[in-house]
Amino acid sequence: MSDWPGGARHYAQTPEQISRAEFKLLEALEVFGVQLPSHGRALDLGAAPGGWTRLLLEAGLHVVAVDPANLDPRLHESSRLEHYRGYAETYLEDAVKKHRRFDLIVNDMRMDAREASRVLGQAAPCLRPEGFIISVFKLPHETREIQPLITLKEAMSTLKKYYAIVHARQLFHNRQEVTVIAAQPLTTRA
Ligand SMILES: C[S@@+](CC[C@H](N)C(=O)[O-])C[C@H]1O[C@@H](n2cnc3c(N)ncnc32)[C@H](O)[C@@H]1O
């Protein structure tokens, strides 16, 4: 097996770029053939310093960026950005109660994959029927006791309780992680 059967993707650094994490989102869109919506609302979980948020704003979306850490100051020039300076779990508790809805939910939180899948489960009522999610799942490094694939299977099995998984793959720009695209299950969409 080659390390990168789909080929190694390279993206040019630009002066506007905020983080190298941007390459992960760009690659996911290209490899999975997905287009960002050009309007509507996006929720960015684990947004700081704001690379993904920048790309979502650039696409035309209104973005709620959730992270206890600071966002790059250049982002605050946009009137379509709201920064919730706190944890995703707390934001979602309130968002579910207030019936907040999003066309796109993205997640790049530095968090164990199983925990991230639980947080995305919490976010499921906030995703519009035609919406989708793009999520990175961080995996542990393999040791004698720890098998990253088991962690991944557990995370996927939790995620499947809430979403239909459309793509899941380790991309060139993913390190010890995989990228997943998921949508509302058909029953919810009908
Ligand atoms: C890899 S960085 C995200 C990079 C970002 N996607 C970008 O493009 O700039 C991971 C972020 O997850 C955030 N994070 C970790 N746990 C979180 C939680 N429970 N709620 C919200 N953010 C969290 C960290 O504060 C950190 O800023």
pLDDT (tens digit per residue) in 154-164: 999 999 999 99
Mean per-residue pLDDT of the chain: 94
Q: Is the CB of 17 under 6 A from ligand 1?
A: no
Checking if the pLDDT of 128 tops 60, the result is yes
CA of 67 to the centre of ligand 1 (A): 6
Q: Is 183 exposed, middle or buried (0-12, 13-18, 19+ CB in 10 A)?
A: middle
Ligand 1 pocket test: which of 29, 92, 108, 134 has the largest number of ligand atoms within 8 Å of its C-beta? 108
pLDDT value at 2 more than 50: no
Q: What is the pTM of this model?
A: 0.95
The fraction of the chain above a pLDDT of 90, given in percent, is 85
Ligand 1 touching residue 88 (CB < 6 A): yes
178 CA → ligand 1 middle, Å:
16
Task: State the DSSP H helix or E strand holding residue 106, giving kind and residue range, or none if neither.
Answer: strand 102-107
For 66-120, write each residue's pLDDT tens digit.
999 999 999 999 999 999 999 999 999 999 999 999 999 999 999 999 999 999 9
Tell me, what's the pLDDT at 10?
84
Distance CA 31, CA 9 (A): 9
Higher pLDDT, 95 or 13: 95
